[in-house]
Amino acid sequence: MSASLKGKSVIVTGGSKGIGKGMARVFAGHGARVLLVARNLKDAEAAAQDLSASGGTVGAFAADVTTLSDMEAMAKAAVDRHGGLDVLCANAGIFPQAKIEEMSPESWDHVINTNLKGTFLAIKACVPHLKHSSQGRIVITSSITGPVSGYPGWTHYAATKAGQLGFMRTACIELAKYGITVNAVMPGNIMTEGLQGLGEEYLRTMAASIPLKRLGSVEDIGHAAAFLASNEAAYITGQTIIVDGGQILPESLEALASA
């Protein structure tokens, strides 16, 4: 447990479910005060109640990452409730599937606006407050899909996840003067509500292709995010941590089977 997260004010976008909720659980377990953000307030409140019941200080806020005024209201809510802002987990994201030939320009824009522009807007709204923290941290949820691997039907998604890393590598230089670090976690296949929607066959074959032979848990990603947000990671910026059970490493099915 990192003592440096105790009492810190943390925002997790996309915190009502999946990876974001797992991140919130880990941060709350370290004694942080967490604001869960999602469009659906009821879901966010239910998640906050669930996490508070296990001992954390967790609240909910409704906001859409595609709208700057929502992101500014979110940042203000964290400051008002917690007396400041130390950590932003820019995690909200969507992954609808469509191959290039069927993908509409509107679907492309929707994914880019949520995953990539939403990351920019959340960070833009939070920087004025993170500047005042002695431990300003931004942790972006990217993916292995895009930066290092590919999957048919996810060209738009993959472009956003690679784009987040390009954004990060300049943002970390711009924000270093405020002592704010910007890093990213790159999850493999993590068991979330969103992933469950892809179906049993997807989940079964995916688990079989992972050297550690299981999908990741949301807390697996939460622990990596908590490390990047901790004081122990103060000298790490513009970097990534892949959390994928070794998924990207086997060169072939034979490489996996012969181990």
Catalytic residues, by residue number, are 157
Q: Are the CB atoms for 124 and 223 separated by under 8 Å?
A: no
4 or 58: whose CB is closer to ligand NAP?
A: 58
Instruction: By CB under 6 A, name the one of 8, 9, 10, 16 that touches ligand NAP.
Output: 16
Regarding 11 and contact with ligand NAP (CB under 6 A), the answer is no
Regarding 91 and contact with ligand NAP (CB under 6 A), the answer is yes
Regarding 119 and contact with ligand NAP (CB under 6 A), the answer is no
Regarding 38 and contact with ligand NAP (CB under 6 A), the answer is yes
Residues 140-159 that bind ligand NAP (CB under 6 A): 141, 143
> Of 15-23, 72-80, 171-179, 226-234, which part binds ligand NAP (CB under 6 A)?
15-23
92 or 130: whose CB is closer to ligand NAP?
A: 92
Q: x/- contact string, 195-224, with ligand NAP (CB under 6 A)? A: x-----------------------------
236: left (phi over 0), alpha (psi -120 to 50) or beta: beta
Regarding 79 and contact with ligand NAP (CB under 6 A), the answer is no
Beta bridge partners of 59: 35
Instruction: By CB under 6 A, name the one of 5, 10, 19, 111 that touches ligand NAP.
Output: 19
Those residues whose C-beta lies under 8 Å from the C-beta of residue 95, and which sit 6 or more positions away, are 111, 154, 157, 194
> Of 23-31, 35-43, 48-56, 251-259, which part binds ligand NAP (CB under 6 A)?
35-43
Instruction: By CB under 6 A, name the one of 29, 56, 59, 93 that touches ligand NAP.
Output: 93
**Contacting residues toward ligand NAP, per CB under 6 A:** 13-20, 38-40, 43, 64-66, 91-95, 114, 118, 141, 143, 187, 189-190, 192-195
